[in-house]
Structure 1
């Protein structure tokens, strides 16, 4: 599980649906949630999580997508398996793992130190911990 330290910047709610914005390093992230802990408030520090299998990688990406979250990183490690491969990306000093098929890794011709875009939907992001600060 990937862990991202972030700060809540905005909360929009309508009935039981919540759209929460975060500041992660110099990036903005968005999460959608049905149930939001009442301790989650603006300016609160949180630990976010994202499954490695929920991250899509893009190379030379241009265009628009419906995925709310986009991070720019650099490939720092590759663990190539027979069917699945782990791609470790450095995003401003935070290591984030994406698990993709080895076929996709080969098709994209991914290599170490290459720039990469990490994409994931707002529904794939979750709050693991809420800081007591």
Structure 2
């Protein structure tokens, strides 16, 4: 599980569904939620959580994608196992883990220092803590 410190920019709610946007440095994150913490307000600083298996990686992307969260990231570490590769990314000063297959890592030709795009579906983010 990776954590990101972000600030709530907006909250929109309709029929029990909420869409929350967060600033993460200069980048924007979007989260879809069916349940929001009552303490969550515009301007709140939060700890967001995402599972490593929910963080996809793109390299040299072009064209349109349905992912709301397309975050600029830098590869800071790569650990290859027999089947899976653990990749540590720096996203606006936050360390985020991605778990992809070794075949995907090889196909992308990932190396430490590469600039990549972290792709995170808005439905897999969660607020683990409202900090302030």
TM-score interval (norm. to shorter)? over 0.9
1:56 aligned onto 2:30? no
Q: Any stretches of 5+ residues in structure 1 without a counterpart?
A: none
Q: Secondary structure at the match of 1:123?
A: coil
Aligned counterparts, 1:21-100, within 5 A: 21-100=21-100
Give the gaps of 5 or more residues in structure 2: none
By how many angstroms is 1:59 displaced?
Answer: 0.5
Partner secondary structure for residue 87 of structure 2: strand
What is the CA-CA distance between 1:36 and the residue it aligns to? 1.0
Shift of 1:45: 0.9
Shift in Å, 1:49: 0.5
**Which residue does the alignment assign to 2:116?**
116
Deviation at 1:108, TM superposition (A): 1.1
Give me the TM-score of the superposition, normalised by structure 1.
0.96
User: Residue 37 of structure 1: CA displacement?
Assistant: 1.6
- Cross-structure match for 2:105: 105
Structural RMSD (CA):
0.9
TM-score by length of 2: 0.96
